[in-house]
Amino acid sequence: MTIGIIGAGFTGLAAGYRLAKRGHKVFIFEKEKNPGGLALGFKEKNWNWTLEQYYHHWFTNDNLILNLAKEVNQEVITIRPKTSSLVNGKVFQFDSPFTLIKFPLLSFINRIRMGFSLAIFRYNPFWSIFENYNAVQILEKLMGRKGFRLIWLPLFKNKFGKHFNEISASWFWARVRKRTSRLAYPKEGFLNFAQKIITAIKNNKGIVLLETEVIKIKQEEKIQLIVKNNSGKENLYSFDRLIITTPSFLFLKIAPQLPKRYKNEILKKQSLGAINVILRLKNKFLKDNTYWLNVCDEKSPIMAIVEHTNFIDKVNYNNEHLLYIGNYTEKESKLFKMSNQQLLNIYDPYLRKLNENYKQNVISSYIFKTPFAQPIIPNKSFILPFETPLSNVFLANMEQVYPWDRGTNYAVELGEEVAKIIENEKN
């Protein structure tokens, strides 16, 4: 079969690789200059490795993407970094039962209660038993009001905004269940990994067209795509099957013929955008070597501070210290509409509380924004199937990874699942 794939994120790349290996003629279309989706990387001239626009890592049990890395000869490094939480203005290491039992802001009984609650989610293999429980309500009952509201409620509010009380406990199960103390990262960065997958696809006679935007899907005897390259030239391609890996609202844009009921299903789905600031620094920002700092303050405009070079050696980036400042927000929010300087001014007083003199060390900064980064999925009934109302057209995107949170491991899982569906349909 001739199969078209829209999007060269890790879902599209995984699907394309599997199908090309099975002998299908695969075409992947990506409007960006580089592959990777939300794991898109960039590189300064003095860096040896690329850096992602939005922070990324793997857990050591992310077997699907780790297996794919092995197949395409992508070297992976594993490290145990330090994870901490900013609570009441102070930084506390918070990444193991041992650090929880030492946490000074809760009584011994409340620490035991929180640890027991986390163990319920960590060691239960069945996510479906949590499906019908509201995460905020059940966690407060299990952990107790004080512990939950001190640590976890601010994190829910910072991550989900006004939707914080719509989240199923099965989502929390997935977050706790998957977490590992050691983390993994592809050597030279995610862009290098994505390019290796593309090389493998091309070695199996697949075609990857970057800087090529899909304008419209038409259906005649076959599925037809009208695409436009970076010079503005339009071309027409025909396929037996089509996989769409973009956000669902973009599917609506390129397929106006979709039936009204299906359009309404997509339109009722909600998601949050993301704002990510990257600071290039001469010196370390989090001097206690914390990699990931959760900000447990619902009034803060910052959800997490992630010092990439407390995880990956700074020598790979010309000895610069690289800091992510992350936040999810509504696409219509004031923060999302702010200029780069306005955002830096908003963040500055919060950053100075952690490192008073950080501004003296700033080499440069980047700010990346995306309108679609965190789907709001209250329960599994909100998940669309891979099959769409358009014959032989399939949808596979991060809205369908529930109960798991978005991430490249689940992007690969989606790509491999939709590839299997197409293969089984053929047989």
pLDDT given for residue 426 in this prediction: 58
Residue-wise pLDDT tens for the chain (427 aa)?
A: 999 999 999 999 999 999 999 999 999 999 999 999 999 999 999 999 999 999 999 999 999 999 999 999 999 999 999 999 999 999 999 999 999 999 999 999 999 999 999 999 999 998 989 999 999 999 999 999 999 999 999 999 999 999 999 999 999 999 999 999 999 999 999 999 999 999 999 999 999 999 999 999 998 889 999 999 999 999 999 999 999 999 999 999 999 999 999 999 999 888 999 999 999 999 999 999 999 999 999 999 999 999 999 999 999 999 999 999 999 999 899 999 999 899 999 999 999 999 999 999 999 999 999 998 999 988 888 899 999 999 999 999 999 998 888 899 999 999 999 999 998 875 5
Distance, in Å, from the CA atom of 356 to the CA atom of 374, rounded to the nearest integer, reads: 32
pLDDT given for residue 403 in this prediction: 87
pLDDT given for residue 249 in this prediction: 92
Distance, in Å, from the CA atom of 140 to the CA atom of 143, rounded to the nearest integer, reads: 5
pLDDT given for residue 377 in this prediction: 87
Give 199-254 pLDDT, tens digit per residue: 999 999 999 999 999 999 998 889 999 999 999 999 999 999 999 999 999 999 99
Sheet of 58-59: strand order equals: 58-59, 183-186, 76-79
pLDDT given for residue 405 in this prediction: 83
pLDDT given for residue 378 in this prediction: 85
